[in-house]
């Protein structure tokens, strides 16, 4: 007897709706297929290769052999893990966290979580960290993904709220894609761009990317700028708009602050100077400026190419400035629109599950905001000590200041930059708890306790996609083995800790279903820019909805700022003066190449899920360092030759692949392979060479630029 369950894809931030088909078997219900949900507004039935093969990641074979099925622990990290029951594992975690907190203080404990957790899971972890343990040391792998976009929106528009929506792709007359290979990273959105182009051949598409990617191939104008020079380009475009009279002066005067100071800053960024810094031609700069400013509606899409940078916030604000200066915002088809990498990075931002945020887009530096959350939660006052962001958390652990790390749904021993430092940090911790759905990730090598988590197809909750749309995630089958939903695992440890820390008090964690967590989260949004007081699980059962959705609303708001009132207290947007700066790493005679890392079309993150599907390796079966043919010829290297890639932090050995989409003097490496595939035993994988230097405002590390040398092995 078959059944269909409506849910959401767990891979990227497009947030496609899926229909999960299940069949009853003697061993219980089994996921047998996945189809695109024709009624979901994000994808209207479309799926990419990863989404369409999701059922294979939930096959009986994968559930049995590649999942973590049982809690396990070990007293000595050189020993193997031994299975243990849930009660023992959870009591041991509670006891050890309480002991470390008593001996070293609350900030000796850190939580490193994930943009793939559901909103309800985020809320549980955040309440445990801030409301019970009393630390702001909670950050997410979304720090590696979206924190520059958060800062960019807040500094310019006043709130972390993407103003546009997917429908704007159908309505724009100019698409400006910067630092996004949408064709590979957000394939279903790219199908929508293709459809928009087919419907409106006069649509102008500009792609800013050092590589001539599949997305760039589709463009009318490709700007292959020198890696790391985006701010120079955007300032050059603004200069051109000012000089040519393409700015919207009435809009600037009525709705913004700070334009004249920025105008003075970009005075020297002439087309000639922009061309010198970016390596582009003056004519390309002028053409892009004219299309952007003079098209009836310009929509910019941007992603990791801007965010993963030591000047990520500057790149985001410089792009948003173009929209503000030309009035290309708050209208159908116009506005800056960051594409979220992970399926619920947005939910993490909404719940404040990051060191620099509090629930409901509040600020941990604000005493008023901290008091508001403590009152909502009924807990002790929240700590006013700033929490560690991702890189800072591992630096603090490497210094011996953080003694315990609870890591959930992410694999920092593969995905964080500067793996030597990350592994030293994990080794130095007295307690590493790893909560994971899949077994055998690199981080497990450093863990003391493994907690098996339920995953896609097995758990209930919500996620928010790039266009602020909240969708339900639903269980189609029971969790594999002894695995449990993440929020339940947190609840059970938290209740053990509060028996000691708050004896006799009502539990802060008295939940028995995800809806209760979501309703606590909803209460924190009331009166804020992301207000969802008018939304309920029942309403989400009927259809996914965009925020804001205040009480009394009949539907969410598709696009923001249509009334020209921005989220700063005075209603005016801001221009932020920041000079152009080169990346943190310097190319020189020893490290002459600019290395960038990125996503392949058919893989996801560290491949713990997508790597269970053989057919997803057909596109790129093995890791390889991509070099321009001219650079290979100069070094007398051939395809397949093994080379050592060396940065100031470490090295990896990989085969070479000739790739004409690159500009000379640059290199590209897929991000998905860890030490088990790259470099072999004792090596550190792709992120041995990447850069931990981060943006001072966003604290997002510079995964898109490392100066490297490439030498034959
Ligand atoms: Fe899943 Fe993203 Fe593909 Fe949609 S585009 S099916 S959300 S991976």
515 Cα to the center of ligand 1, angstroms: 25
Q: Judge whether residue 459 has pLDDT over 80.
A: yes
Question: Does residue 92 carry a pLDDT above 50?
Answer: yes
Percent of the chain exceeding pLDDT 70 equals 99
- pLDDT tens, residue by residue, 549-559: 999 999 999 99
DSSP β-ladder status, 706-712 and 642-646: antiparallel
What's 212's DSSP letter?
Answer: -
> Using CA atoms, how far apart are residues 661 and 216, in angstroms rounded to an integer?
9
Closest Cα to atom 2 of ligand 1: 12
What value of ipTM does the predicted structure carry? 1.00
- Strands 461-464 and 449-452, by their bridges, are unpaired
- Residue 654: name the closest of 623, 629, 681, 633 by CA: 623
| Substitution site in 37, 55, 187, 189 for ligand 1 pocket (most atoms within 8 Å of beta carbon) | 187
Angle between helices 312-326 and 230-244 (to 10 degrees): 20
Residue identified by tokens 């053989």 is: 614
**Buried b / exposed e along 610-639 (16+ C-beta atoms within 10 A):** bbbbeebeeebeebbbbbbeebbeeeebee
Residues with CB under 6 A from ligand 1: 9, 11-12, 14-16, 43, 47-48, 50-51, 186-188
Structure letter (DSSP) for residue 247: S
560 Cα: distance to centroid of ligand 1 (angstroms) = 25
Atom index in ligand 1 nearest the CA of residue 52 equals: 6
**Residue whose CB lies within 8 A of the most ligand 1 atoms, among 19, 34, 43, for a mutation test:** 43
Structural domains of the chain ordered from first start: 2-65 (2.20.25.90), 72-143+346-526 (3.40.50.740), 147-339 (3.40.228.10), 593-712 (2.40.40.20)
The residue count of the chain comes to: 713
Q: Which residues contact 421 (CB under 8 A, 6 or more apart)?
A: 394, 395, 398, 692
Look at residue 677 in the predicted model and tell me its pLDDT. 58
pLDDT over 80 (residue 498): yes
> Distance from the CA of 653 to the center of ligand 1, in angstroms?
31
Residue located nearest, by CA, to atom 4 of ligand 1: 16
The dihedral region occupied by 44, where left means phi > 0, alpha psi between -120 and 50, and beta the remainder, is: left
Residue 66 has pLDDT above 80, yes or no: yes
E strands present in 142-297: 174-178, 204-208, 221-223, 256-257
Average pLDDT score over the chain: 96
For residue 627, give the nearest of 658, 661, 653, 655 by alpha carbon: 658
Tokens of 75: 């007293």
User: Could you tell me the distance, in angstroms and rounded to a whole number, from the CA of residue 472 to the centre of ligand 1?
Assistant: 15
CA distance 437 to 85: 17
At 189 the pLDDT is 98
Element (H, E) at 234: helix 230-244
Pairing status of strand 593-598 against strand 706-712 = antiparallel
What mean pLDDT is predicted for residues 246-270?
Answer: 98
**Band of pLDDT at residue 124, cut at 50, 70 and 90:** very high
Q: How far is the CA of 187 from the centre of ligand 1 (A)?
A: 7
Q: For 340, phi and psi rounded to 5 degrees?
A: -75, 140
Atom of ligand 1 nearest to the CA of 11: 8
Ligand 1 pocket test: which of 7, 8, 11, 603 has the largest number of ligand atoms within 8 Å of its C-beta?
Answer: 11
Q: How far apart are CA 438 and CA 457, in angstroms?
A: 14
Q: How confident is the model at residue 683 (pLDDT cuts 50, 70, 90)?
A: low
Least confident piece of the model among 260-274, 374-388, 508-522, 629-643: 629-643
Return the residue whose CA atom lies nearest to atom 3 of ligand 1. Answer: 48
| CA 127/CA 102 separation, integer angstroms | 19
Atom of ligand 1 nearest to the CA of 14: 7
Q: Answer whether the bond into residue 54 is a cis peptide, omega within 30°.
A: no
pLDDT bracket for residue 681 (50, 70, 90): very low
Q: Annotate 433-471 with b (16+ C-beta within 10 A) or e (fewer).
A: bbbbbbbebbbbebbbbbbbbbbbbbbbbbbbbbbbbbb
- Write the Ramachandran bin of 544: left for phi over 0, alpha for psi from -120 to 50, otherwise beta: beta
Indicate whether 494 pLDDT > 90: yes
C-beta separation of 688 from 679 below 8 A: yes
Residue 41 has pLDDT above 90, yes or no: yes
Output the residue whose Cα is nearest ligand 1's atom 5: 188
pLDDT at 678 over 60: no
From the list 164, 155, 160, the residue with the least C-alpha distance to 257 is 155
Give the distance (Å) from ligand 1 centre to CA of residue 558.
Answer: 21
pLDDT tens profile 23-36? 999 989 999 999 99
With helix as H, strand as E and coil as C, how does 679-708 read?
A: CCCCCCCHHHCCCCCECCCCCCECCCCEEE
Taking 70 as the threshold, does the pLDDT of residue 37 lie above it? yes
Find, among 7, 60, 68, the residue nearest to 608 by Cα: 68
**Mutational test site, ligand 1, from 13, 16, 457, max ligand atoms within 8 Å of CB:** 16
DSSP state of 112: E
Residue whose CB lies within 8 A of the most ligand 1 atoms, among 7, 8, 9, for a mutation test: 9
> Which of 173, 231, 186 is closest to 213 using CA atoms?
186
The answer on pLDDT for 684 being more than 80 is no
For the chain, percent of residues with pLDDT exceeding 90: 95
Q: Using the atom order of ligand 1, give the atom closest to the CA of residue 51.
A: 6
Ligand 1 centroid – CA 404 distance (Å): 34
| Nearest atom within ligand 1 for CA of residue 187 | 5
Q: Which residues contact 38 (CB under 8 A, 6 or more apart)?
A: 44, 45
Residue 48 CA: which ligand 1 atom is closest? Answer: 3
- Choosing from 10, 13, 47, 340 the residue with most ligand 1 atoms within 8 A of its CB, the one to mutate for a pocket test is 47
Mean pLDDT of 602-612: 91
DSSP 355: T
As a whole number, mean pLDDT of residues 436-464 equals 96
- Atom of ligand 1 lying closest to residue 47 CA: 6
């Amino acid at each position: 007897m078959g059944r269909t369950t409506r849910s959401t894809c767990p891979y990227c931030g497009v947030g496609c709706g899926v229909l999960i088909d299940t069949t009853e078997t003697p061993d219980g219900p089994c996921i047998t297929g996945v189809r695109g949900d024709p009624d979901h507004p994000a994808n209207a039935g479309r799926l990419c290769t990863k989404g369409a093969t999701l059922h294979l990641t939930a096959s009986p074979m994968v559930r049995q052999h590649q999942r973590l099925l049982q809690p396990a622990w070990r007293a000595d990290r050189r020993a193997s893990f031994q299975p243990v029951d849930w009660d023992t594992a959870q009591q041991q975690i509670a006891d050890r966290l309480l002991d470390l907190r008593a001996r070293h203080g609350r900030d000796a404990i850190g939580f490193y979580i994930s943009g793939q957790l559901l909103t309800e899971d985020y809320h549980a972890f955040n309440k445990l960290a801030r409301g019970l343990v009393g630390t702001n040391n909670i950050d997410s792998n979304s720090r590696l993904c979206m924190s520059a976009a958060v800062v960019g929106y807040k500094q310019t528009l006043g709130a972390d709220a993407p103003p546009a929506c997917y429908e704007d792709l159908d309505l724009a007359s100019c698409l400006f894609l910067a630092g996004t290979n949408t064709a590979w990273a957000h394939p279903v959105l790219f199908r929508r761009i293709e459809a928009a182009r087919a419907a409106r051949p006069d649509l102008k598409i500009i792609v800013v990317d050092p590589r001539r990617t599949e997305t760039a191939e589709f463009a009318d104008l490709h700007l292959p700028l020198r890696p790391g020079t985006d701010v120079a380009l955007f300032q050059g475009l603004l200069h051109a708009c000012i000089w040519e009279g393409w700015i919207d002066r009435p809009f600037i005067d009525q709705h913004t602050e700070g334009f004249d100071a920025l105008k003075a800053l970009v005075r020297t960024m002439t087309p000639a100077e922009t061309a010198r810094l970016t390596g582009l031609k003056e004519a390309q700069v002028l053409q892009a400026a004219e299309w952007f400013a003079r098209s009836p509606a310009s929509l910019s899409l941007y992603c990791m190419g801007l965010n993963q940078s030591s000047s990520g916030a500057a790149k985001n604000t410089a792009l948003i400035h173009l929209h503000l200066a030309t009035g290309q915002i708050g209208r159908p088809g116009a506005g800056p629109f960051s594409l979220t990498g992970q399926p619920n990075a947005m939910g993490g931002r909404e719940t404040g599950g990051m060191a620099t945020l509090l629930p409901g887009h509040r600020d941990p530096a604000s005493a008023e905001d901290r008091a508001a959350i403590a009152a909502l939660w009924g807990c002790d006052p929240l700590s006013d000590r700033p929490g560690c962001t991702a890189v800072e958390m591992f630096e603090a652990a490497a210094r011996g200041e953080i003694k315990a790390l609870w890591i959930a749904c992410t694999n920092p021993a593969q995905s964080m930059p500067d793996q030597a430092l990350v592994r030293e940090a994990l080794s130095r911790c007295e307690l590493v708890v790893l909560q994971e759905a899949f077994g055998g990730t690199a981080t497990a090598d450093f863990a003391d306790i493994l907690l098996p988590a339920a995953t896609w197809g097995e758990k209930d909750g919500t996620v928010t996609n790039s266009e602020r749309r909240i969708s339900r995630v639903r269980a189609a089958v029971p969790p594999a083995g002894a695995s449990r939903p993440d929020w339940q695992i947190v609840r059970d440890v938290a209740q053990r800790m509060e028996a000691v820390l708050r004896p006799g008090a009502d539990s802060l964690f008295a939940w028995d279903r995800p809806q209760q967590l979501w309703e606590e989260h909803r209460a924190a949004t009331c009166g804020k820019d992301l207000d969802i007081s008018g939304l309920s699980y029942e309403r989400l059962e009927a259809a996914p909805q965009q925020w804001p959705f205040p009480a009394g609303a009949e539907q969410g708001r598709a696009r923001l700022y249509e009334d020209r009132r921005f989220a700063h207290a005075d209603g005016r947007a801001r221009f932020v003066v920041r000079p152009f700066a080169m990346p943190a790493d310097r190319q020189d005679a020893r490290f002459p190449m600019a290395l960038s890392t990125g996503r392949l079309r058919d893989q996801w993150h560290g491949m713990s899920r997508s790597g269970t599907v053989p057919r997803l390796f057909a596109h790129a079966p093995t890791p390889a360092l991509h070099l321009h043919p001219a650079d290979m010829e100069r070094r007398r290297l051939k395809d397949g030759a093994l080379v050592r890639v060396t940065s100031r932090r470490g090295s990896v050995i990989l085969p070479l692949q000739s790739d004409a989409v690159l500009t000379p003097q640059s290199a590209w490496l897929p991000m998905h392979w860890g030490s088990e595939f790259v470099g072999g035993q004792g090596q550190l994988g792709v992120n041995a060479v990447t850069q931990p230097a981060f943006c001072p405002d966003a604290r997002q590390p510079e995964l898109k630029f490392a100066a490297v040398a490439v030498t034959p092995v």
